[in-house]
Chains A and B, each alone.
Chain A
């Protein structure tokens, strides 16, 4: 049986105690030592990174649902920004900033799609700048 070590994490007023298996603790300790940061900081960074990836994954999934809903949403929300959470429009606003505020008040840090409802499908973002690489002096 693998030995485990308890790790306490704090965020403002909320605290959670989690149990990590020994191997994970050792890997994390090694990473922290190699980076020269405290163990707790390394643990925090690892969780933050995971949550970042989760946010991308969730927003991507919501966006796929949004694309299917887009024609139906046009009637009610044309030109507005909507927040899509678990496949449902949960908030709307005339601009992104107002929408973000409403969503933050209701859902805190939960990753939620914020997108404008328009006729046109999402366009790719273009970058046209060309750079000359500086030659080594």
Chain B
């Protein structure tokens, strides 16, 4: 293959340059789409943020402050400017990579985000892994055994995961496994009195404790991560098993499967080497979607398990109308989603030659 490619490229340079041009146009279009998406995201968040009834000034100065203090802080926060001026000045800061300061934490939003994102990434990554490792095989097995009890069980398991509210499940898990059985920790990333012992470079306690060689805190961090990740992973599993079941069913109906069977191929090679091979691209899309969904969808589980991640940061900022923090978090979530989608596009090219 590589031989033929070399020959082709060396003999067809006009074709190559036109392809290069087309490629360049494609990149430029994607870039424009990304910028428009992010801009739209910021505009909508900004406008919605102003419509929220919470008064950002009162949340800073308290209810009892007099009018002079109110007016002064109102001006300090730039709220006396027209909306488009406020947005314009925010945008010009963002272009210079300055996300502003959070009124809640009194820290630059960028450094706040750098602190909370690792917690969410730890949680979402493990949850996606759990969801994919259990959900995809479950979906495949259900499709292969369509209509049998295995299929029914798989569908019920999926349906439950799909329809059970995560905060309810989280609360029940805490009630049974923490309050009654004492098997899991109460929430947070580590026990609170283990806080402040390791100040590592990455803000991922798992990584930092390993670097510091503190295995007690490392295990504590893993232990704290398990319950929320399993619950989130269960929801991801439900989604992924449903999707892989339907992708698989579609493949199993194809004629090449019949041909393979007619050739006398065994069941296992037909399923995994033929049918499953063909659903990998679709699966990659849904896994990427599930991962994006988990990154910004961890809000509820972060609240129940006191997990100091992006979701918790965003909600607490919303409650006090801390707009710089809200906009920064939304922008970051948008960028991560775009990055994951781009990444999955790139991976397609490796596993599906038709997309090259």
A binds B: no
